[in-house]
């Protein structure tokens, strides 16, 4: 609590420090920018498994961590995942959203405070060591200890038609949008675990699923590849790239692909195009604060 007037009263952890000072001195010693900001024990940016795990450990150690979880996509990439089969303790698998809900409740159980907002900037005071975190709704938080656990965001194809039909056929989340393509042809682009998991999930809805990968070998685990190969609704096209997404006022209708070995081009009908080609680190907001490599990783 901060009270302005003849006296400056600062309350921290149920202790009060009272100092007599003039209004001018108060203006010099009290930071005011529209929102008062108490110094937090620890601030964690990100609400995926790493962020919540940090919050749980810190809470159990007697700290009160503040988790800035994000406004649009709290819970990390697992929220957009169907069944997670490789997380210890769940021999029969667990749904991604369920796992993240449990992590959130566990973090809150040990005292974590969660803010559902997006970080827009971070600054560091080289003299005091205080890190200032500003969020989209205008609140400002300060701490000496800042944990970056923002993970990554979906990587895009950057081809004609992708932006135009985003939300109109182009998607990056099978669990979010798969239902909208019931009995319609679907394409999945990618060759990793995410692509094969999405293809398997989308085969429940689509009339057909075509998985397109630029190489003949896959990064996905063998069990996922074999599962897709045994699924009669899934067709795998290798050594090919999607060059353009075509459509009309009703949304995406087809894609143009090119074989990278022969150069042959063809068109495949598709109302749903799910892009699963990996992720890029979500670290742009700390550019200049910490050292990052050429790929944006800390």
Candidate list 177, 200, 239, 248, residue with the active-site label: 177
| Catalytic residue flag (residue 200) | no
- How far is residue 55's CA from residue 107's CA, in Å, rounded to a whole number? 6
| Catalytic residue flag (residue 177) | yes
Candidate list 176, 200, 239, 248, residue with the active-site label: 176
| Catalytic residue flag (residue 176) | yes
HEC states along the chain? CEECCCEEEEEECCEEEEEECCHHHHHHHCCCCCCCCCEECEEEECCCHHHHHHHHHHHHCCCCEEEECCCCCCCCHHHHCCEECCCCCCCCCEEHHHHHHHHHHHHHHCCCEEECCCEEEEEECCCCCCEEEEECCCCEEEECCEEECCCEEECCCCCCCCCCCECCCEECCHHHHHHHHCCCEEEEECCCHHHHHHHHHHCCCCCEEEEECCCCCCCCCHHHHHHHHCCCCEEEECCEEEEEEEEECCEEEEEEEEECCCCCEEEEECCEEEECCCEEECCHHHECCECCCCCCCC
- CB distance 143 to 133 below 8 Å: yes
Candidate list 173, 193, 248, 293, residue with the active-site label: 173
Residues designated as active site: 173, 176-177
């Amino acid at each position: 609590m901060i009270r302005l007037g003849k006296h400056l009263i600062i309350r921290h952890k149920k202790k009060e420090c009272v100092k007599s000072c003039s209004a001018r001195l108060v203006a010099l010693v009290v930071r005011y920018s529209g929102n008062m900001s108490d110094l937090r024990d620890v601030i964690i940016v990100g609400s995926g498994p790493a962020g919540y795990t940090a919050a749980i450990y810190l809470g159990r150690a007697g700290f009160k961590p503040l988790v800035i979880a994000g406004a649009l996509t709290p819970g990390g990439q697992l929220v957009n995942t169907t069944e997670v089969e490789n997380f210890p303790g769940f021999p029969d698998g667990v749904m991604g959203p369920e796992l993240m809900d449990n992590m959130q409740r566990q973090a809150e159980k040990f005292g974590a405070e969660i803010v559902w907002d997006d970080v827009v900037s971070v600054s560091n005071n080289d003299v005091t060591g205080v890190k200032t975190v500003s969020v989209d709704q205008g609140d400002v938080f300060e701490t000496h200890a800042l944990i970056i656990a923002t993970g990554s965001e979906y990587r895009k194809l950057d081809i004609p038609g992708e932006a135009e039909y985003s939300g109109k056929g182009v998607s990056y989340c099978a669990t979010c949008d798969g239902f909208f393509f019931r009995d319609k042809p679907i394409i999945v682009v990618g060759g990793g675990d995410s692509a094969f998991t999405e293809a398997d999930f989308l085969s429940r809805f689509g009339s057909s699923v075509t998985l397109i990968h630029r190489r003949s070998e896959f990064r996905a685990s063998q069990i996922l590849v074999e599962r897709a190969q045994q699924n009669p609704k899934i067709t795998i096209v290798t050594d090919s790239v999607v060059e353009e997404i075509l459509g009309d006022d009703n949304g995406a209708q087809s894609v143009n692909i090119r074989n990278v070995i022969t150069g042959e081009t063809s068109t495949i009908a598709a109302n749903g195009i799910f892009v699963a080609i990996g992720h890029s680190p979500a670290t742009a907001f700390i550019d200049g604060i910490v050292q990052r490599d050429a790929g944006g990783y800390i």
